[in-house]
Amino acid sequence: MLTSPEKILFALAVLATLYAAWRVIDRIVRIIRRGQGKVDWSLVPKRLIAVLAKTVTLQPTFKLRWGPSLFHALVAWGFMFYLLVNVGDVLQAYIPGFHFLGTGLIGALYRLVGDLLSVAVLVGMVALIVRRYVLRPANLTTRESTLLHPKARSGILRDSAIVGGFILIHVGSRFLGETFALAAEGADPWQPFASAVSALWLGWPGLELARHAAFWLALGTILLFIPYFLYSKHIHLFFAPLNFLLKPERRSMGELSKLNFEDETIEQFGATRLEDLGWEQIMDAYACIMCYRCQEVCPAYNTGKVLSPAALEINKRYFLNYEGARLARGEPSSQTLVEFAIPPEAVWACTACGACVDICPVGNEPMRDILDIRRALVLMENQFPKQLQTAFRGMERTMNPWGVPPGDRLNWAQGLNVPTIDEDPEPEILWWVGCAAATDARAQKTARAFAEILKAAGVNYAVLGQHERCTGDSARRAGKEDLFYELASANVAMLNEVAPKRIVTTCPHCLHTLKNEYPAFGGNYQTVHHTQLINELIGAGRLKLNGDSRGKVTFHDPCYLGRQNGFFAEPRAALRQAQVDLVEMPRHGAKSFCCGAGGAQMWKEEEHGNERVNANRLREATATGAETLAVGCPFCMIMLTDAAKQAGDQMQVMDVAEIVARSLEKQLT
For residue range 449-496, what is the model confidence (pLDDT) as tens digits? 999 999 999 999 999 999 999 999 999 999 999 999 999 999 999 999
- The rounded distance, in Å, linking the Cα atoms of 132 and 71 is 12
Whether residue 667 has pLDDT greater than 70 = no
pTM across the whole model: 0.94
Cβ–Cβ under 8 Å, residues 651 and 626: yes
List the domain boundaries for the chain: 1-38+261-383, 42-137+153-246, 388-668
- The rounded distance, in Å, linking the Cα atoms of 183 and 80 is 27
Residue, of 549 and 203, whose pLDDT is higher: 203
Q: Is 430 exposed, middle or buried (0-12, 13-18, 19+ CB in 10 A)?
A: buried
- The rounded distance, in Å, linking the Cα atoms of 561 and 567 is 6
- The rounded distance, in Å, linking the Cα atoms of 99 and 121 is 24
Task: State the average pLDDT over residues 84-104.
Answer: 94
Pairing of strands 527-529, 461-463: unpaired
Cβ–Cβ under 8 Å, residues 477 and 352: yes
Whether residue 137 has pLDDT greater than 50 = yes
pLDDT at 158: 93
Where does the pLDDT of residue 665 fall: very low under 50, low under 70, confident under 90, or very high at 90 and above? low
Count of beta carbons in the 10 Å neighbourhood of residue 645: 10
Mind listing the pLDDT tens digit for each residue in 22-51? 999 999 999 999 999 999 999 999 999 999
Where does the pLDDT of residue 265 fall: very low under 50, low under 70, confident under 90, or very high at 90 and above? confident
Task: State the average pLDDT over residues 190-209.
Answer: 94
Count of beta carbons in the 10 Å neighbourhood of residue 249: 10
Q: Which residues, in sequence order, are CB contacts of 301 under 8 Å at separation 6+? A: 146, 295, 307, 308, 309
- The rounded distance, in Å, linking the Cα atoms of 654 and 651 is 10
pLDDT at 669: 43
- The rounded distance, in Å, linking the Cα atoms of 59 and 78 is 16
Whether residue 230 has pLDDT greater than 60 = yes
pLDDT at 535: 95
Cβ–Cβ under 8 Å, residues 644 and 653: yes
Average pLDDT for the chain: 94
Domain 1-38+261-383: which topology? Fumarate Reductase Iron-sulfur Protein; Chain B, domain 2 (1.10.1060)
Whether residue 548 has pLDDT greater than 50 = yes
Distance of CA 376 to the CA centre of its chain: 22
Where does the pLDDT of residue 231 fall: very low under 50, low under 70, confident under 90, or very high at 90 and above? confident
Whether residue 441 has pLDDT greater than 60 = yes
Whether residue 227 has pLDDT greater than 60 = yes
Nearest to 570 by CA among 531, 527, 515, 540: 531
Whether residue 549 has pLDDT greater than 70 = no
Cβ–Cβ under 8 Å, residues 595 and 617: yes
DSSP E strands: which ranges in 480-631? 503-505, 527-529, 552-555, 581-583, 628-631
Where does the pLDDT of residue 668 fall: very low under 50, low under 70, confident under 90, or very high at 90 and above? very low
Q: Categorise residue 382: left if φ over 0, alpha if ψ from -120 to 50, beta otherwise.
A: left
Where does the pLDDT of residue 550 fall: very low under 50, low under 70, confident under 90, or very high at 90 and above? low
- The rounded distance, in Å, linking the Cα atoms of 126 and 143 is 26
Q: Is 327 exposed, middle or buried (0-12, 13-18, 19+ CB in 10 A)?
A: buried
Lowest mean pLDDT, pick from 475-489, 544-558, 559-573, 650-664: 544-558
Whether residue 79 has pLDDT greater than 70 = yes
Task: State the average pLDDT over residues 243-247.
Answer: 96
DSSP string over 68-137: HHHHHHHHHHHHHHHHHHHHHHHHHHHSTT--TT-SSHHHHHHHHHHHHHHHHHHHHHHHHHHIIIII--
Task: State the average pLDDT over residues 493-500.
Answer: 97
In the chain, what is the straight-line distance between the N-terminal and C-terminal CA atoms, in Å? 90
Whether residue 226 has pLDDT greater than 60 = yes
pLDDT at 544: 87
Task: State the average pLDDT over residues 84-101.
Answer: 94
